[in-house]
A and B are shown apart, each in its own frame.
Chain A
């Protein structure tokens, strides 16, 4: 059991981050508001967790313009996809009897 614990990624220990990553893994280009709606968290909370994941290069932010209004979307990076998959595998192995 011990070796699996080391493969768990500290970056994903928070529930909000787990949520962000799960949503981004299965959707392309998710907006800030959509993430907020799905996770039910405050603006500031979501923004700080997104920033943390961005710093690790796990998520990518894209700013586009829709009707002259800026529209921010997020997507998971290749690195983030790999890291999250490994985290999930570690979680699953941990739970296997």
Chain B
């Protein structure tokens, strides 16, 4: 083997190590769209709360907000699935392989925990802690999953946690922090990922 072959061998090794552990089909576009949905949902929630409905019909408002959040989540997941499948096809990778499964499981555990915890907070009447708690748990979920996908996701997770913690101490701006965390940060990271990994 000559020098060139050795370089090729090293390249092969590095690529194989990356590809076998990390779920690399995740599309940045899904982040951008998730962010747009979150901003729209936050705006609708803001309008509802501003209308004074929170005082006159607290139960109805709560159901409206939860339906809004759920609808936003389903739309975001659907869009992510669509763009990620497209990206996987383009790269000639399988959408659902062992690394995708690992990333998904490791994301789901803290995320489901956070979701149930948020429901417990709502039941206990601690509505003000829902936004901080969802941000913190979402951040933990991203950090947990980052080992199995783009390392950049870890950074995003840390920012979400920081935002959640600030929201927990700064009182009464839950919706604003929610819009920054799930809206703005998703759009910024989505754009970054899209231009770095897909637009070439």
Contact = CB atoms under 8 A, between A and B. Distances in A.
Interface of A: 13, 15, 18-19, 22-23, 25-27, 30, 34, 37-39, 88, 91-92, 94-95
B20 A26 contact: yes
B97 A37 contact: yes
B13 A88 contact: yes
Contact of A22 (B1, B3, B12, B94): B12
A18 B21 contact: no
B10 A91 contact: yes
Contacts of B98: 27, 30, 34
B10 A27 contact: no
Contacts of A95: 3, 6-7, 10
Closest 7 CB pairs of A and B: A22-B16, A22-B13, A23-B20, A26-B17, A22-B17, A26-B21, A19-B16
B9 interface: yes
18 contacts: A15-B9, A15-B12, A18-B12, A18-B13, A22-B13, A22-B14, A22-B16, A22-B20, A23-B16, A25-B17, A27-B21, A27-B98, A34-B97, A34-B98, A38-B20, A92-B10, A95-B6, A95-B7
A91 B94 contact: no
Contacts of B21: 26-27
Nearest to A15: B12
B71 to A, nearest CB: 36
Interface in B1-54: 1, 3, 6-7, 9-10, 12-14, 16-17, 19-21
Contacts of A30: 20, 98
Interface in B94-147: 94, 97-98
Contacts of A19: 12-13, 16
Nearest to B18: A26
Contacts of A13: 1
B63 to A, nearest CB: 42
A27 B21 CA distance: 7
Given A34-B97, A37-B94, A27 B20 contact: yes
B19 A38 contact: yes
Contacts of B10: 88, 91-92, 95
Interface string B63-98: 000000000000000000000000000000010011
A30 B102 CA distance: 13
B10 to A, nearest CB: 6
A39 B6 CA distance: 18
A39 B13 CA distance: 11
B105 to A, nearest CB: 14
Contacts of B6: 91, 94-95
